[in-house]
Amino acid sequence: GAGVSQSPSNKVTEKGKDVELRCDPISGHTALYWYRQRLGQGLEFLIYFQGNSAPDKSGLPSDRFSAERTGESVSTLTIQRTQQEDSAVYLCASSLIVRANYGYTFGSGTRLTVV
Amino acid sequence: AQSVTQLGSHVSVSEGALVLLRCNYSSSVPPYLFWYVQYPNQGLQLLLKYTSAATLVKGINGFEAEFKKSETSFHLTKPSAHMSDAAEYFCAVSDPGANSKLTFGKGITLSVRP
C-alpha cells in the first residue's frame, strides 16, 4: 500500500480482555517496528521484525505482550489480560531495510483504552 | 545506552518568529539523529535526519537542524513560524553500529500564536 496502515484506529476494552492490533506495512518493506506512546511520554520501543523474524523484542513490557509477522507483511501485536497501564497509542512503522540511517514511515496508530 | 533529552514540554511562539526546539543526546558512538513531527491525530512524519554527512541538515517545511558534536546537540530551527507548524516534535537517535532501533525523546509541543 501507499502508507503504513493500522487497525483498528481506536479500541476500548475491558480490563482482563485480550486485544489484537494489526499493522500493514508499506509493500516491500523488510523492517517493521512497534512502539508505544503513553500520554505525555515519548515513544517506547517494543519490538522489531526483519522479515518474519524478531531479532530484538527487548522492549516488550511483560509476557502478556507478543507479536508476530507473517509473509513478510502484516504484523499483529497481541496483549493478553489487558491492564489499565496498557492504555496508550500503539504505533507501527516500517522501513525498506534494517539500516540505522534510514528512518521509518509511521502509521497513524491504534489508540487503546483499557477500562 | 543512548538517550535523548528534550527540555520542556511546550514552546509557544508568535507567527513569523524564530522557532528553536532543543535536543541533546547521549551516545557512546557518533549517532544518527532524527527529527519527527506529529500533527494531531496523525502518525509521525520524518522532518530531517543527520547521518554523518553535512552537519547542517535541511528538512521539509523550511526546518533545519545542526549537529554539534562538542555540545552533543541537534537543535531544530525554522526562521519564521507558520500557524501550520503547530504540532508535537520528537527528536530521536540511533546507533549506527546496531540495528535501526530509534530512541525517542519525550517530545515538545509547539504552539504558534497569531
- From first to last of the 114 residues of chain B, give the pLDDT tens digit: 788 999 889 999 999 999 999 999 998 777 889 999 999 878 899 999 998 778 899 999 999 999 999 999 999 999 999 999 999 999 999 876 666 788 899 999 999 999
A101–B96: do the CB atoms touch at under 8 Å?
yes
Residue A1 has pLDDT above 60, yes or no: no
The pLDDT value recorded for residue B98 is 64
Between β-strands B32-38 and A53-56, what pairing exists: parallel, antiparallel or unpaired? unpaired
CA A14/CA A86 separation, integer angstroms:
11
Q: How many CB pairs under 8 A join A and B?
A: 70
Q: A23-43 as b/e, with b when 16 or more CB fall inside 10 Å?
A: bbbbeebebbbbbbbeeeebb
Distance from CA of B100 to the nearest CA of A (A): 4
Instruction: Please answer whether residues B47 and B61 qualify as being in contact, where contact means their C-beta atoms are separated by less than 8 angstroms.
Output: yes
Cell numbers at residue B26, please? 547521549
For residue A41, the 8-state DSSP code is S
Q: At B2, is the secondary structure helix, strand, or coil?
A: coil
Q: Regarding predicted confidence, which is higher, A101 or A75?
A: A75
All cell numbers assigned to B17: 518568529
CA distance B108 to A76: 30
Write down the pLDDT at residue A40.
78
Contacts of B53 (CB under 8 A, 6+ apart): none
CB pair distance less than 8 Å for B105 and A99:
no
**Contact assessment for residue A56 and residue B101, using Cβ atoms and an 8 Å cutoff:** yes
